[in-house]
Amino acid sequence: MNQFEFTRRQMMALMGSAATAAMLPAAAGAADDGLKFWAPGIARVGEKDWSSMEAEAGIKLAPIAKSARADEAIQKMVVGDGNALYDAMTDNGGGMEDALASQNAIVELDTSKIPNWSIIEKRYLDGGAAADTIRYEGKVVAIPYISNADAMAFNHDVIGFEPDSWEILFDEQFKGRAALQNDFGPTLTNTAIYLKQSGKQDIENPSDMSEAEVKGVCQFLIDKKKAGQFRTFWDGFQNGVDLLASEEVLVASCWEPIQIVAARKSAKDIRYGTMKEGHQTWNNVVMLTRGGRERGMDDTFYKLVNLYLSPWFGARTLAALGFTPQMTGVLEYVDANPDVFDAATKATINDRLARKQERLAVPGNSWQNVFPTNIRAYQDWWARVQAA
């Protein structure tokens, strides 16, 4: 395997029973024409519907909203009816492409049919830092469309300084005004990065911890939670936005789009930092399903992913939601289109790219892994954190 050794034991732990998959919602109302695309709203730029994407790519899409967890999505695709329903799909986090490819739910891709593969970020090429995130057994099975290094949002208007460490989330001066994400993946990874780099705990790999390491990280969080350090564990995009915008929370580990929308909504100086210990880095990818290939949707799929690797998409997703573009040439594209990107937007794009480069350069960064080897320990100890 590429990112980690995906075992049958892990698959069974995540899959549950076929009956569970059968209960997952079907893609009701999907159109018969066009690429049946199972994807979240963050995969779309332009108009509120998919019309801008369709026009730019020159294709017809039949999008189906996707919000399932990684384990639910795999159930749907492997033992459920996902391949009958979807021609293409996005993932739910690092390693999902390995799990799906190992079960023949997605297919190998021909990058020669994607013109913009020539401008993909070098980290995705053979030997690059993110090369394994789109490959299974050395074969390309996915195309990235967004990525980031998740950090911490903070209300600069109130706290008056720019923190550079995760320490602030656990500092008593912000007792009751800090928040973490209600998800064991990013929360345990970022906490483990902090504890490892600060020398507070011995952790070999924050992306794939041993049972003892998981216990140590969770016990640290449980102790802090019982002491009243956290206002809440935010759950869902809007909840994260509202907590920051209302000033109920002053510091929060979160996705960058939450910080952007919270700042816009509140008109407060809510910023996104660079943590010296490191960050969880991740990408989201697009995959062609086995069913999509069987239905002859390859050409339409390649046109879609070529759009995702275009500066047209990269500039817009960066400006709107703060996601990292997956291709070169974005700043040149912005310069060439001043009618679309005014001076203020251009300045924002430049600032966000600079901050991303700072975060990506931090040595302690660890890659997102939604299928850690000891996933049962993660699940069991996370339940204890939630119950504390």
Look at domain 8-147+283-357 and name its CATH class: alpha beta
Give the pLDDT band of residue 25 (cuts 50, 70, 90). Answer: very low
* Distance (Å, whole) CA 21 – CA 18: 5
The more confidently predicted of residues 6 and 92 is 92
For the residues 381-386, what does the mean pLDDT come to? Answer: 98
Residue pointed to by tokens 């009701």: 28
The single-letter DSSP state of residue 25 is P
Helix axes 8-15, 70-78, angle to 10 degrees: 100
Instruction: Check residue 4 and give its pLDDT.
Output: 44
Residue pointed to by tokens 């950090």: 151
Phi/psi of residue 236, nearest 5 degrees: 100, 150
Whether residue 17 is predicted with pLDDT greater than 90 in this model: the reply is: no
Whether residue 26 is predicted with pLDDT greater than 80 in this model: the reply is: no
Query: pLDDT tens digits, residue range 146-157?
Result: 999 999 999 999
Least confident of 67-76, 128-137, 366-375: 67-76
CATH 3.30.43.10 fits 149-280+364-387, yes or no: no
Please report, to the nearest 10 degrees, the dihedral formed by the alpha carbons of residues 220, 223, 228, 230 taken in order. 20
Q: Which residues touch 132 (CB under 8 Å, ≥6 apart)?
A: 2, 3
CA distances 301 to 51, 88, 142, 283, 288, Å, are 16, 7, 11, 19, 7
Query: pLDDT tens digits, residue range 274-320?
Result: 999 999 999 999 999 999 999 999 999 999 999 999 999 999 999 99
**Strand 88-90 to strand 280-288: parallel, antiparallel, or no bridges (unpaired)?**
antiparallel
Question: Which residues of the chain are in CATH 3.40.190.10 domains?
Answer: 8-147+283-357, 149-280+364-387
Instruction: Check residue 349 and give its pLDDT.
Output: 96
Instruction: Check residue 94 and give its pLDDT.
Output: 85
Burial of 222 (0-12, 13-18, 19+ CB in 10 A): middle
The more confidently predicted of residues 370 and 5 is 370
CB 114 within 8 A of CB 231: no
Give the pLDDT band of residue 371 (cuts 50, 70, 90). Answer: confident
Whether residue 11 is predicted with pLDDT greater than 60 in this model: the reply is: no
CB 89 within 8 A of CB 287: yes
Give the pLDDT band of residue 13 (cuts 50, 70, 90). Answer: low
Alpha helices in the chain (DSSP H): 8-15, 18-22, 51-57, 70-78, 82-85, 96-102, 156-159, 184-197, 211-226, 237-245, 256-266, 290-294, 298-308, 311-321, 330-336, 343-360, 375-387
Instruction: Check residue 176 and give its pLDDT.
Output: 98
Mean pLDDT of the chain: 92
Instruction: Check residue 32 and give its pLDDT.
Output: 58
Whether residue 5 is predicted with pLDDT greater than 50 in this model: the reply is: no
Tokens of 66: 């996707």
Instruction: Check residue 299 and give its pLDDT.
Output: 98
Query: Which pTM value belongs to this model?
Result: 0.89
CA distances 369 to 30, 143, 256, 297, 360, Å, are 31, 17, 19, 30, 17
CB 95 within 8 A of CB 7: no
For the residues 113-130, what does the mean pLDDT come to? Answer: 96
Instruction: Check residue 93 and give its pLDDT.
Output: 85
Buried b or exposed e, range 66-97, using 16+ CB within 10 angstroms: bebebbbbbbbbbbbebbebbbbbbbbbbbbb
Instruction: Check residue 252 and give its pLDDT.
Output: 98
Query: pLDDT tens digits, residue range 197-237?
Result: 999 999 999 999 999 999 999 999 999 999 999 999 999 99
Query: pLDDT tens digits, residue range 49-64?
Result: 999 999 999 999 999 9
CB 360 within 8 A of CB 149: yes
For the residues 319-344, what does the mean pLDDT come to? Answer: 96
Number of other residues whose CB lies within 10 A of the CB of residue 226? 10
Nearest to 91 by CA among 257, 237, 286: 286
The more confidently predicted of residues 30 and 266 is 266
CA distances 97 to 68, 108, 297, 318, Å, are 15, 11, 19, 24
86: left (phi over 0), alpha (psi -120 to 50) or beta: beta
The more confidently predicted of residues 14 and 271 is 271
Instruction: Check residue 327 and give its pLDDT.
Output: 98
Tokens of 371: 């299928």
- The rounded percent of the chain whose pLDDT value lies above 90 is 87
